Chains A and B, each alone.
Chain A
Amino acid sequence: MNTIVLQAADWLSLFVHYASLSLLCVGGAITTAPDMHRFLVQEKAWLTDPQFSASIAIAQAAPGPNVLFTALMGWNVGLNAGGLWTAALGMVLCLGGIMLPSSVLVYLTAQWSHRNRDLRAVRAFKQGMAPLVVALLVATGWILATANGYAWANWPAWAVTLVTTLVVWRTRVHLLWLLGAGAVLGWFGWI
C-alpha cells in the first residue's frame, strides 16, 4: 500500500470533483470513469492504476448498482491515506458526491412529471422515448456480449447469452439459476 497525505482541502476537492461529475453522467456513472482516472490516478496520484481497475472490476462482479465502484475508489483513496476511518470517509465523499446532485434533480423532476402526467408535453415525451428505451436495453446487451470483440472464438459465450435471452424472454425461470449456470460453465472453463 502506498501512503499519501490528504488535507481537509483535498477531501473537499474529492467531494467537489465527484459532485461535478454527477450531472455529467447521463447514461450511467461508468461513462465518467475516464475522468475519474485522470483526476485520481494521473493528476493527484491518490490511487494506483491496479487499484483503479480493481475498483471497477469488483463492483461489476458484485450484486447491486454498478455505481458502487465510486464507493470503492473512495474507500481505496482513504486506505492509502491512513486507515479504516479515512477509508469510510473517502467512500462517503465519493458515493455521496456522485449521487447527491443528480438524485436531487431526479427527485424534483419525478415529482413534477408525476403531478403533470396528463400534460400533453409530458405524455409526448414518455411515448416518444419508449422505442429508444427498448432499443437501448437491447443495445446494452449487445455491447456487453461483444465486449471481448467479434472474434469467432467467443461463440460459446455468445451461445450462453442467446440462450439466456430466449429463456428469460419466454419463460419465468428464476434469474439466479441462470447466473449460477453461467458461473459454473465459466468456472470449468467451458466458455
Chain B
Amino acid sequence: MSSPSEALAAPLTARPKSLTDLFVSFTLLALQGFGGVLAVVQRELVENKRWMTKEEFIEEWAVAQIMPGPNVINLSITLGARYFGLRGALVALAGMLTFPLLVVLALALVYAQFAANPQVAGALHGMGAVAAGLITATGLKLSSALKRNVMGLALCVALGVAAFVTIAWLKLPLAWVLVVLGGIGCVTAYRKLAP
C-alpha cells in the first residue's frame, strides 16, 4: 500500500536519468546557491525538474534538518540515495562539493586584494539581503503543502507560528524547540494517523 502523497505524486514526478544527470544537476544547483543552496534546490528540483512534490520535499527536509550535519549536504545524500542507492548518495555529494570547493579556494586566493574594497563589501551586503528573501520565500511557498497535513491547518499554523517566535525572536536553542514543538506535532500526527 502506498501513502496518499505518493499516489498523488506518481503521475507528476520525474527522476534523474543517470548518475551523470544527478552530478551535473547538483553541481549547477550548488553553483547558483549564494547565501544558501536551499532556495535553489526547492526551485529546481520541485518546480522545474519535478523530481519530487512539495510534500515530499518537506518530508525529506524534515529528516535532513533533524539529523546532525550540514542540512543541504544531508538532503543531497537522501535524494541521491533515493534514486540510485549508495552510488547516488556519493555522486550527489560530489556534485554538491567539488566545483563549489574549487570556487571557494579561488576566492580565498584573491580575497586578500579585495577585502578592503567598500564596493565589494557593499555587493556582498546586497546579496545577503536578497538571500534572506530567497529563504523566506521558500518557506512561504512550501507552506501551501500544510493544507493537506493530517494534523489540520489550524494546528499546523499554531505550531509554525510558535516555532518562528521561539527561534527568530526569543532565540531559544533549536534542539529544545524541535523536541518540544516537534514532539507535540509528532504525537498529534501519530494519533490522527490511527488505522
**A positions within 8 Å CB-CB of B:** 22-29, 31, 54-55, 58-68, 71-72, 75-76, 91, 95, 98-99, 101-103, 105-107, 109-111, 113-114, 117-118, 120-121, 123-145, 147, 157-158, 160-169, 172, 175-176, 178-179, 181-189, 191
Contact = CB atoms under 8 A, between A and B. Distances in A.
Contact of A29 (B6, B70, B193): B70
Contacts of A107: 77, 81, 86, 89
B139 A141 contact: yes
Contacts of A169: 137, 140-141
Interface string B48-77: 000000000011011111111111111001
Contacts of A141: 132-137, 139
Contacts of B39: 168, 175
Interface of B: 1-3, 6, 30-40, 43, 47, 58-59, 61-74, 77-78, 81-82, 86, 89, 93, 96-97, 99-101, 103-105, 107-108, 111, 115, 118-120, 122-143, 145-146, 149-151, 155-157, 159-164, 167-168, 174-175, 177-178, 181-182, 184-190, 193-195
A65 B104 CA distance: 10
Q: Is the interface of A mostly helix, strand, loop or mixed?
A: helix
Contacts of B105: 71-72, 75
Contacts of B120: 187
B189 A186 contact: no
B128 A187 contact: no
